[in-house]
Structure 1
Amino acid sequence: MSTSAPTKAFASTGDLEPKTVTFAELAPGAYAYTAEGDPNTGIIVGDDGVMVIDAQATPLMAEDVIAKVRTVTDKPIKYVLLTHYHAVRVLGASGYKADHIIASRDTYDLIVERGQQDYESELGRFPRLFQGADSIPGLTWPTIVFENHMTLWLGKTRVEIMQLGRGHTKGDTVAWLPDSKVLFSGDLVEFGATPYTGDAYLQEWPATLDALAALKPEKLVPGRGEALTTPELCAQAITETKEFLTAMYGAVAEARAAGAGLGDAFTQARAALEPRFGRWVIFEHCLPFDVSRAFDESGGIRDPRIWTADRDREMWAALQA
């Protein structure tokens, strides 16, 4: 009597090593909270208050961001801006006790449609990123919802909050400081980190990156990876993100057009991508979800399907087989 081998756990469930946090000033009043490829948070300190960009995954984890902010200012945290809806970015928002939580209309709609499923899916996949999950009071609900573009003033500091196109999700939002040319990109741009594209619009994302490049940022806080402090590094991060997306989607679409199923498309895409991108952080974690979305989109499924904990496991088991 034979028994089947157990399915391997998600790559991310074994990623338990703590990361070193860096808190750096990029321009007067503009800061980056980064942690060796874990999700980044941006901070803008204006004349009369503070904006936090992406909240971390739990109120407990938000406490460390607040502690870093308090090393540079005692001004109140007035705003939390959500660059998109993913749980790892938004569920810590209540910890800041901000006056307002800002999100795009598309991000709000995604929270309504799939916020709870995303929370359960992400928590199961990447437990280290949800330290103190029992401190989460529930889904994060924006109090200010905008469409396309809004300008917010922190005293004399002008913050342009914009949707420049679909990419990582349909609700992607960036914050732009035009006076200091600092861009907070959310997960539209990564640096040395593998883009997660499970909820992406892969054929539209490159054009959105072109719109970011047209801003000509001189400093940039990506979704993951170290903060970028020169125009050349900003351009490099945008270009490399675009090159990964193009190569990944192209490999999967080519495999599907040749009649490959999801498993074979994954094998072919992995072989094509690993030599150049395999050392990027969370490569093994993201690639199954990336390929799954690319397989769907190249087959005509325009809008990303909802990830649930059950769908995660089914997809993972199919690829292991």
Structure 2
Amino acid sequence: MLEDPIVNLADVQELARDVVVIPNRNVDLVPNVTLIGGTGAVLVVDTGLGPRNAQRVLEFAEQYARGRRLYLTTTHFHPEHAFGADVFAGAATYLVNQVQADDLSTRGEGYLSMFRQLGEPVARELEGATIPTPDLTYDETYELDLGGRTVVLRATGRAHSKGDQVVTVPDEGILLTGDLAEADQFAIFPWFPPYDVDVSGVRWIGVLDRLLADRPRVVVPGHGDVGDARLLAEVRDYLVELRDETWVRRDSAMPEETVAAEIRALMIERHPDWRLPEWIDRGVGCLCAEHAGGA
């Protein structure tokens, strides 16, 4: 049975000076929510699923900020990360990359409908949810001055979604990845043909290679425990493994169902402690399509 997807404020973790994370406690459809402060402003990263979670996050942020200006950003457009942003209207400036803004406007309603079918706990949290419209957008990189600290927002290009964005705190070596990385679980492939085929396993590998080259000290994944650069390497290596095992079977012209079944068993054997094996098949489907397309 799905646990209620509630942002829990009980165990807020301090990552560095004026940087805290509200951990997801490995609850499905709850993201890690991070607050980054400077002398003049505080940036909130991700909202939780729906208005009630976002209201909890906003109230915590206002207490944390103690009169400092609030900004909000979301790592990508999926509902547990962004579908509470409207609660922040009037209290914070909502800032994302332009492609993510496009994702919200073109994909948002479809994802809202889909998530409402995931069970009563999810539907309850999405009561009253609306698709947010950002206040500010940027194309590739945005340097946000919080006062004595600059946070960098960077669009990565298509990977987990078209509008993925990472957030870095350069003075502390902290990287926030959204769902480009999750700890101790199989990578989430939102592969739902014909409705959404924006995820790219091949491009995702390239994005993680670039993030690894930056050598972050602390990595905050979209879901799961905070780690370091080894977390990025673990996800990258899994995606390479998934790609290679998929493509070698596609080269032998095996049916996709057989490919998925073989690889699912293999990945579970290699990663017996990881959560959410249901995403393996969708990853195989995505990579089969990329193989066929000559990616």
Instruction: Establish whether TM, by shorter chain, passes 0.5.
Output: yes
Q: From 213, 217, 236, give the equivalent of 1:242.
A: 236
Structure 2 equivalent of residue 84 of structure 1: 76
- The alpha-carbon deviation at position 245 of structure 1 amounts to 1.0
Identity, in percent, stands at 23
Q: Distance in 1 between matches of 2:123 and 2:211?
A: 30
Structure 1 equivalent of residue 248 of structure 2: 254
Larger RCO (CA within 8 A; separation ≥ 6): 1
The AA in structure 1 aligned to 2:210 is A
- Structure 1 residue matching 2:172: 3-state secondary structure: coil
- The alpha-carbon deviation at position 70 of structure 1 amounts to 5.2
Q: Over aligned residues, Cα RMSD in angstroms? A: 2.3
Q: From 31, 36, 40, give the equivalent of 2:32.
A: 40
- Structure 1 residue matching 2:12: 3-state secondary structure: strand
Q: Using structure 2 for the length normalisation, give the TM-score.
A: 0.86
Q: From 122, 133, 142, give the equivalent of 2:126.
A: 133
The AA in structure 2 aligned to 1:15 is L
- The alpha-carbon deviation at position 50 of structure 1 amounts to 1.7
- Larger deviation: 105-114 or 66-75? 66-75
Structure 2 equivalent of residue 222 of structure 1: 221
Structure 2 equivalent of residue 170 of structure 1: 162
- Closer, same or farther: CA 272–120 of 1 in aligned 2, 3 Å: same
The AA in structure 2 aligned to 1:33 is I
Q: Distance in 1 between matches of 2:236 and 2:119?
A: 25
Kept in 2: contact 1:100–1:143 (CA 8 A): yes
Structure 2 equivalent of residue 28 of structure 1: 17
- Structure 2 residue matching 1:268: 3-state secondary structure: helix
- Closer, same or farther: CA 301–105 of 1 in aligned 2, 3 Å: farther
- The alpha-carbon deviation at position 130 of structure 1 amounts to 5.5
Structure 2 equivalent of residue 205 of structure 1: 204
Question: Aligned pair 1:123/2:116, yes or no?
Answer: yes
- The alpha-carbon deviation at position 20 of structure 1 amounts to 8.4
Q: Distance in 2 between matches of 1:125 and 1:96?
A: 25
Q: Distance in 1 between matches of 2:22 and 2:260?
A: 33
Structure 2 equivalent of residue 60 of structure 1: 52
Task: State the aligned residue count.
Answer: 282
- The alpha-carbon deviation at position 247 of structure 1 amounts to 1.6
Unaligned residue ranges in structure 1 (runs of 5+):
1-13, 229-233, 303-321
Q: From 160, 180, 192, give the equivalent of 2:152.
A: 160
- Larger deviation: 215-224 or 157-166? 157-166
Q: Distance in 2 between matches of 1:126 and 1:154?
A: 39
